[in-house]
Chain A
């Protein structure tokens, strides 16, 4: 076990706690950079997919994990990010401008949507955002002149600094592009958490009343959280649409936002690592299932199997490991670090009781 002897307040908010941690993350980065030489094109595509899901997951994590607001409508923001990015590209903007602009537009609209949604919390917010996701599906169909409706849209060619980024002819370029986006988003996320804003997010999550008492402006904090979260998810959505190459209203159904929420719960709510672990689970589950069903000799796809298996995983996690995969790892790590002094109840939750806000 390493002991941190803190000599200044800055120790608490350092990007890396010590040299060893910095070394580990640098090694991970080096591995990610070297990945195109280590695995073949198929798995590189899968890795890109994982990173795209992780970007969307980070967006939702900021809202649900950090600020404590459950949203079932993030597929709407993914669609918004994707369509605005592609429409800007078709208007003649280069990808390198259109992509962040798409994110910013999504963020602003997300923030605007948050203003009325602020009055809601808990269940009501979840339902309102669910309605938003369903509406988006229909709106895409109704705004056919812009969105291509049910027929969908083809992703335009992406050119970054003169290099054509094509999924099939140049998978490594796609991978690096996604990796850079994920890195930027993760660094932004991490730094946000270290800043007063991130502290305010956590305060709102843990108790709105005490946050208010400490001088946090709840309405402003929630709006910002919603906006930033929508923006990041919009970037992820743009990547997902472009990666799929063809997208329509079906690409961003509300099922996607439910999957997104489940993903971050499986990964570990409130941890950056959780978004990545969850993304790995959600990206590889279909492959894993098809391998299993193939080996059992069934050739036809069983409808709903994937979501059902995901549902079972979900229920098992909520019942037995509410902290998710990363929480499990934290427990194992603590056990190893403290051996033999770790005790079972170290991570035990406090008992809580619910109260209503209704009068009758």
Chain B
């Protein structure tokens, strides 16, 4: 019973990691860039929701605020691409890495300025209480997180595999110039995927905030989400979710069964192990380049 309990809570945590990882993978899959600020995007999404919903700020009903949040975060992602990232279009990945790390610093500062550094909790309808099944106690928030994440991952996966714009995104990332030749508006596709990543981050943020309090440093879970994305194989959407679940499940078990201190490093040890033995993740999508 205890194992099952740990498993469920680990899965819920893992789903949040997986959603943030999904954001990384979306952007990586479509633009070949890595958004190191995705964790901070999530933090921003949570705070924007909090600003709309919480009574001390605007007090809009949750379900009414939801589309507004998606609109704000989507616009934010799109504008970010148009104003900042388009300037480094086609440059190597290191430029984008540094750019997004810097962006993360700024977002954290701005969020702290607006909403303060005290942890705040979101008035979310998902935080309903517990569901009891025999000895098993399930938080409603946990169940909601797990369901939402699986549905969202499935939708996005199918979106990439089946729709025209999803394929255009893949093409744009595989070879930018060839995509241009085929008539794909590569820059517009980039803007669209950044908007999408903003929305996914907002979903992750809302779910994260439903589980507990949120503060401007919450974006640091982005680092664990990174581990998740790499373990799953950067560039694979189901892989990101899998990686997130693995990291999420390992943590509570390491905390329970290993000496103290090891649970913090467990995800990173796993990450390094995966990088050593399967450098491109469990769902590898890379092969050695042939000339």
Contacts and interface: CB of A to CB of B under 8 A. Distances in A.
B101 A128 contact: no
Contacts of A322: 91, 95
A174 B268 CA distance: 38
Contact of A308 (B108, B276, B287): B108
Given A322-B91, A354-B32, A120 B275 contact: yes
A123 B93 CA distance: 7
Given A134-B268, A304-B105, A353 B285 contact: no
A116 B276 contact: yes
Contact of A311 (B34, B93, B95, B103): B103
A343 to B, nearest CB: 22
B171 to A, nearest CB: 10
Interface in A312-334: 312, 314-315, 318-319, 322
A311 B84 CA distance: 13
A359 B103 CA distance: 30
Contact of B87 (A307, A319, A359): A319
A357 B286 contact: yes
Interface in A243-283: 258, 261-262, 265
Contacts of A138: 261, 264-265
Contacts of B173: 354, 356, 358
A139 B264 CA distance: 10
B18 to A, nearest CB: 17
A310 interface: yes
B7 to A, nearest CB: 25
B237 to A, nearest CB: 11
Interface in B204-259: 216, 223, 226-227, 230, 234-236
B291 A127 contact: no
Contacts of B261: 138, 141-142
A14 interface: no
Interface in B95-114: 95, 97-99, 101-106, 108-110, 112-113
Nearest to A132: B272
A311 B264 contact: no
A271 B272 CA distance: 31
A141 B227 CA distance: 21
B230 A127 contact: yes
Interface stretch (B67-75, B131-139, B174-182): B174-182
B177 A353 contact: yes
B289 interface: yes
A64 interface: yes
A131 interface: yes
A122 interface: yes
A315 B103 contact: yes
Contacts of B97: 70, 123, 126
Interface string A34-78: 000000000000000000000000000000100000100000000
Interface in B47-103: 84, 87-88, 90-95, 97-99, 101-103
Nearest to A69: B94
A303 B116 CA distance: 10
Interface string A293-308: 0000000001111011
Contacts of A261: 98
Contact of B279 (A120, A130, A209, A308): A120
Contacts of A302: 113
A351 B265 contact: no
B266 to A, nearest CB: 10
A262 B272 CA distance: 24
B117 interface: yes
Interface string A113-137: 0001101101110111011101100
Contacts of A358: 173-174, 235, 285-286
B98 A308 contact: no
A117 B84 CA distance: 31
A355 interface: yes
Nearest to B32: A354
Contacts of A169: none
Given A142-B261, A312-B106, A356-B175, A134 B223 contact: yes
A123 B229 CA distance: 12
Contact of B176 (A134, A304, A319, A355): A355
Contacts of A360: 170, 235-236, 285
A119 B285 CA distance: 15
Nearest to B229: A127
Interface in B153-211: 170, 173-177, 180
A351 B176 CA distance: 12
B271 interface: yes
A265 B226 contact: no
B180 to A, nearest CB: 8
Contacts of B285: 358-360
Given A116-B276, A123-B234, A304-B108, A356 B32 contact: yes
Given A142-B261, A358-B173, 20 more contacts: A122-B94, A127-B226, A127-B230, A130-B226, A131-B271, A141-B261, A304-B109, A307-B109, A314-B99, A314-B101, A315-B106, A349-B91, A351-B90, A353-B177, A354-B173, A357-B286, A357-B289, A359-B285, A359-B286, A360-B236
6 contacts: A70-B93, A126-B34, A141-B261, A314-B102, A318-B98, A354-B176
In the A-B complex, list the 4 residue pairs whose CB atoms are closest, starting with the nearest.
A308-B109, A311-B105, A311-B102, A314-B102
